[in-house]
Amino acid sequence: MDSVKKIVYSKKIEKHVTYAPTLGSAIQYTNVGMLEEWIQCYLLLTRKAAPTLDALTKDEYLYFGVVKFPLRLIQPNGVDSGGSLSNGTAEHLADSPPMLVRYEEGKFHCIEQLDLLAELKQRKVNTFPTIIVMKRNDDYKRFMKYYGTIFHYVDHV
């Protein structure tokens, strides 16, 4: 156990990364092996008022990403794909954080960013950078069996 602690705590991070609630920041954190740290910063600092995300800060979760995720796989619960488009641009979408999607019992659910998902669907965007969140070991095994090798990691904005 001591050798594991020594390996983990002696891991040197050669690049300095600064947190921002953007896709670019999430990718930087992922590239240096600190995706969990980015998610914790995002949940604690940026999404403070979101009660649906509160459980993510208290329980152990597995995170997979940042990947190009096909939006058609997300269950349509609570997503309004009608209505008018916002005045946002492609730069606006690049400045937004990656989408958080929960994988549970073989299905994908948008956790909090329903407005972003609706905007992406209105714009007919097929894929969007996403972090996949799983809690249970059987969900992880099922995910890896069916999806583990087909998603492409996003390594730059």
Closest by CA to 131, choosing from 45, 18, 25, 58, is 25
The predicted model scores a pTM of 0.80
Q: Could you give the CA distance from residue 108 to residue 72 in angstroms, rounded to a whole number?
A: 10
Q: Are 112 and 47 in contact (CB under 8 A)?
A: yes
What is the number of alpha carbons within 13 Å of residue 137 lying toward its C-beta? 0
Residue-level pLDDT at 58: 67
Q: Are 67 and 154 in contact (CB under 8 A)?
A: yes
Average confidence (pLDDT) per 10 residues, the chain, 157 residues: 54 74 93 91 75 66 92 81 56 81 94 88 93 92 91 86
Residue-level pLDDT at 48: 62
Q: Could you give the CA distance from residue 61 to residue 136 in angstroms, rounded to a whole number?
A: 8
